[in-house]
Amino acid sequence: MTPGSTAAGKTVPAKAASGGTAAKKAASAKATSGEAAAGKAAAKTAGATRAAGKAVAKKTAGKTVAKKTAGKTVAKKAVGKTAAKQAVPVSAPAKKAASVRPVAALPRNESHTALVRRARRINRELAEVYPYAHPELDFENPFQLVVATVLSAQTTDLRVNQTTPALFARYPTPEDLAEANPEEVEEILRPTGFFRAKTKSVIGLSRALRDEFGGEVPGRLEDLVKLPGVGRKTAFVVLGNAFGRPGITVDTHFQRLVRRWQWTAETDPDKIEKAVGGLFPKSEWTMLSHHVIFHGRRICHARKPACGACPIAPLCPAYGEGETDPEKAKKLLKYEKGGFPGQRLNPPQAYLDAGGRPAPPLGAG
């Protein structure tokens, strides 16, 4: 078929045919370019939509973060307010709130380093309160001290001090007491309680001193604890106060206070001694014992501690177990802190200079 013919036999000019084909191609190209333009426009619109979506998401996320941050801030403020409320003794009258000693909120999970720092600070504070702290048993030599300490079990140092003058006047040396008539010793020791058992102990330790140590009190822990009636507590009292060798005296006051202060949770005296000893230099052990025991007898009592008059209240986790009102707490103070006699008939001069008064002899007043 030639360019100018069709199937029907009619002749169509070649120019016309080619023009139609060109027109179709132009239309097709135009349509294609239109579709491309539309596609580009659609892509542009989609891109704008995505960008807008991202902006909205970012803004929303920002608001969420801001809300969370604000929530945390509010929570912190609330916790702070709660801690502040807990730190103030609620039992004190509102009108006396200004006079109540502020109490620090101690961390529940206190590190060992923080515990050491707090424990040593308490000891420093007590050293300022009781610069005259001393053993509260009257004695003139190691023998008198070891006997007096054995007698102090289950009674007060005051009652021991009122009893030992008659005992040592009659039996001044280990040799004398070793040969004593038990019934006569029992009569002298009756005021101290458990006098039969105590008589057996002091006569027994006197015989041991006479027979095994030449009538002298030994200056070693391992030797002292072999004596009848002498345990680690008694041995450390003797070592620290008669020989100047450091030791921790874990009596009932010491046990009570170190648990209140959360220095240790142990209840066994030997374990308490080890735990507390690890918090202080060995050179401080003897005076630490005096400070703690003095505080336990004068302010931090077993049944009703005078919290409102306590100089270490801000460092004490047990603050509030006793009377927190300052005026009422002052009435609970004992010995020189309350204006009363102490436990020794012959106390050190430093104690007297600080305002302490000697105890009266047995049967006086």
Q: Catalytic site residues?
A: 233, 251
- Nearest Cα residue to 158 out of 362, 364, 352: 362
Distances (CA, A) of 32 to 37, 46, 89, 150: 9, 21, 86, 115
Q: Cα 307 to chain center, whole Å?
A: 16
